[in-house]
Amino acid sequence: MSIETETLVIGTRGSALARWQSEWVKARLEALWPGLRCNLEIFTTTGDRILDRPLPEIGGKGLFTEELEAALLEGRIDVAVHSLKDLPVENPAGLTLGAIPERADARDVLVSARYAKLADLPRGAKVGTSSLRRGAQLLRLRPDLVLESLRGNVDTRIGKAMRGDYDAIVLAAAGITRLGHADSIAAFLGFDEMLPAPGQGALGIQCRQGDERILARLEPLGHVPTRDAVLAERAFLSGLGGGCSAPVAALGTLLPTGLSLVGLVASPDGKRAVRVEGRGDEPLELGSRLAREALAAGAAALLA
C-alpha cells in the first residue's frame, strides 16, 4: 500500500542499542509505507547523563524516557522508541503505546571472560549489575556472590567483563544479540533461574493519543501475542504500585490454553520472595489479579 510522501520524526536515545532499535523501527515503517521518510532525533536523558550512581539511587523508572515524552507532547517528534522495560507503566496524559512489536529473547545472560556458567563462579565472585531484580535473584541462587554496581552502555559493560573488572556481569539477551555481541555470552540464564523485568526484550513505540495518522502507520508493527504477554506483566507491576523500587520480575507466555503469567517480588538480599502464577484470558485482569495475590502472600511487606 502506498501513501503520499510524508515525514515522520522518531525520537531516540543516543546509545548504540537505542539507535539500533530506532533504526529497526524506521526500516520497518519505510518498508511498510512507500513514500514515508523517517528521521531520527537523538535525545540525552537523565539516565544517560548520570553514570556514577546506581539507577535505583537516582530514581529508577522514567530516567530514560521523560525527555522523549516531553518532546512528543510538545510535537517536536511523532513517535518515541523505548525499551519497554524502561517505560513507566502509566503513560503521561496525552500519550499512548501505538505499537508493541514482536518480542526478542526475554532471558538474561551471563557474560564472563573466565567462567562458562553461574555455577562455575568461585565463592565471593564479583558480579556486576545495577538491577535490583537481577541482584535479588542472583543472591537467591548464590548468596555468596558479591554484587557491584554496573552502569554504561552495552559495549562498555561487556568491555569491563572481558577486562576482568568483574568475574561476571548479567545483561539482557535482547540487547546483547541486537548489537551483534552474542559471542560474548557465556551462558543464558533460564527462567527457572532468573525471571525477566516486565517487558524485557520488547519495544514500546509511543505516540500522541488520538494522532490517527501516526497510529495508522504504527498499527502493522504490532504483535498481538507479545502485546498480551507484556500488558499482563506491566499490569502485575502496576498492581504492586507501579513505580516500586523493590525487585519485581514477571513473565507472560501465550499458550494454546490462554495466557500464563508468573510474577516475583523479592527482597534485595534475595532471602525473602513471593512467587505467584496464574492463567487468564484478559491480560490486564490477569496481571492485576496476580498482583493482589502477591500482596496478600507477603509482597506488601517486601515492597514497604
Which residues does the annotation mark as catalytic?
A: 86
The secondary structure element, H or E, covering residue 185 is: strand 185-189
Place of cell 484478559: 282
Q: First vs last Cα of the chain: how many Å apart?
A: 53
Helix (H/G/I), strand (E/B), else coil: 175: helix
Residue 105, Cβ density class (10 Å: 0-12 exposed, 13-18 middle, ≥19 buried): middle
- CA dist 286 and 263 (Å) reads 11
Q: Are 206 and 69 in contact (CB under 8 A)?
A: yes
Residues in the chain: 304
CA dihedral 13→14→15→16, nearest 10 degrees, is 110
Residue 280 identity: G
CA dihedral 47→195→248→289, nearest 10 degrees, is 130
Residue 273, Cβ density class (10 Å: 0-12 exposed, 13-18 middle, ≥19 buried): middle
- CA dist 144 and 232 (Å) reads 33
How many CA within 13 A on the CB side of residue 298?
9
